[in-house]
Amino acid sequence: MARFKTLDQAEVRGKRVLVRADLNVPTKDGVVTDTTRLERLVPTITALAVKGAKVVVLSHFDRPKGKRVPEMSLKPVAQALSRILGRDIAFADDCIGPVAAAVVGALNDGQIAVLENLRYHKGEEANDPAFAKELALLGDVYVNDAFSAAHRAHASTEAIARLLPAFAGLQMQAELEALAAALENPKKPVMAIVGGSKVSTKLDLLANLVARVNMLVIGGGMANTFLYAQGVNVGNSLCERDLADTARQVLAKATALGCQIILPQDVVIADALKPGVASTVVGIDSIPPGQMILDIGPASAKTISLQLGMCKTLLWNGPVGAFETKPFDQATLSIAHEAAALTKKGALVSIAGGGDTVAALNAASVTNDLTYVSTAGGAFLEWLEGKELPGVKALAI
């Protein structure tokens, strides 16, 4: 991992500190419905304010595509952040120009402002140097605390970091250190669990992981494609039959690299994916025509848990079944509880991320029991794929 400057190296008293945050939170009728990202921003903002910085928060919200869309204003989000921080927050109706400059200029040391949606300006997503310069005029120091936006080369994540002294925020630092511990210098053996519906969306991830981990568990709809590639009749299950050759190539690469692939040995089947539907556990060689695989079976879940007990590091991206619909959540929940128990005992370093994975961990009530759970979606996945993230690269020293 590239070296980067952290907040403890930053002199910020009396300075205007531009904090790139991720305030792109879910809302309904103007009310924030999930404050997780806001809560994770609190340590960085608080640390800067306590040090006497004038904290100026930058973020995008939704996809206004360079236009001012009232429904995509950050003002309601700023109000929610104010309540969470227990501090007054000023709000500027623009993120550049005289309006923003007036709000920033009125800040005293330790005070906080949120500027309007960066994506109201086309220059943000275009990574326009001129737009980045206008943002930089508002600050003396730049802090990126938005790992979830670091996979995008935008003006507020990439170009601006080259114009001001740049530092990683506390959340960014924690995320990078957790991922480095899991991928770059992990305690071995390492297990990765990769789930989700389609192999096609995670080919780069699988190719990178088989070269880095000792055991790779493949679950969810993805597993059906691998089973089909091995000659298993998967009935009416979700399956990318055209990727059978690709699946066999992944299996061959894993064998060549000494990575053990763990596929289901039994599965939970039903004739439809809906709550309360009758379901049955069968071996993978006994799937009747017309039935769908909707979860891995209890024997498969037990095998994964036993193997996990022999590992020192876990990377998890994607549930192993259709966990949103009961009873097809059972295997994912049981593995989550085992990972949490091993982590609490100090026997496992557990790193998980991705929207569905976080939702599954929340459903199991173990999110806080794992070593690190990333709220980043695309950025977390691209890091696991071994790709360079522009927002991280820009912080490198």
The confidence score (pLDDT) of residue 375 equals 84
Band of pLDDT at residue 59, cut at 50, 70 and 90: very high
Q: Is the pLDDT of residue 2 over 70?
A: no
Q: For 235-244, 307-316, 376-385, which range has the lowest pLDDT when averaged over its residues? A: 376-385
Region label for 235, one of left (φ > 0), alpha (ψ between -120 and 50) or beta (otherwise): left
Q: Is the pLDDT of residue 50 over 90?
A: yes
Region 187-212 average pLDDT: 93
Which pLDDT score is estimated for 169? 98
| Predicted pLDDT of residue 1 | 59
Contact 307, 335 (CB under 8 A): no
Residue with tokens 């997503």: 125
Give 260's strand partners: 215
Say whether pLDDT at 42 is over 90. yes
Average pLDDT of span 238-251: 96
Average pLDDT value for residue range 152-163: 97
Contact call for residues 160 and 137 (beta carbons, < 8 A):
no
> What is the distance, to the nearest Å, from the Cα of residue 181 to the centroid of all Cα atoms in its chain?
16
Query: How does residue 183 score in pLDDT terms, banded at 50, 70 and 90?
Result: confident
pLDDT of 126 over the 70 cut: yes
Predicted local distance difference test score (pLDDT) of residue 354:
85
Query: Which residues are identified as catalytic?
Result: 37, 198, 355, 378
Mean pLDDT of 257-283: 96
Q: Which CATH class is domain 186-384?
A: alpha beta
Q: State the pLDDT at residue 146.
A: 97
Confidence (pLDDT) at 378: 87
Residue 135: what residue type? L
The CATH 3.40.50.1260 domain(s) of the chain lie at: 7-173, 186-384
How large is the average pLDDT for residues 195-216? 93
**H helix intervals, 265-384:** 298-308, 330-344, 355-363, 378-384
* Percent of residues, the chain, with pLDDT higher than 90: 90
Share of the chain above pLDDT 70, in %: 99
| CATH superfamily of this structure's domain 7-173 | Phosphoglycerate kinase, N-terminal domain (3.40.50.1260)
Which residues fall within 8 angstroms of residue 172, CB to CB, at 6 or more apart?
A: 144, 145, 146, 147, 150, 395
Confidence of residue 185 (pLDDT cuts 50, 70, 90): confident
**For range 345-362, the mean pLDDT:** 93
Mean pLDDT of 305-317: 97
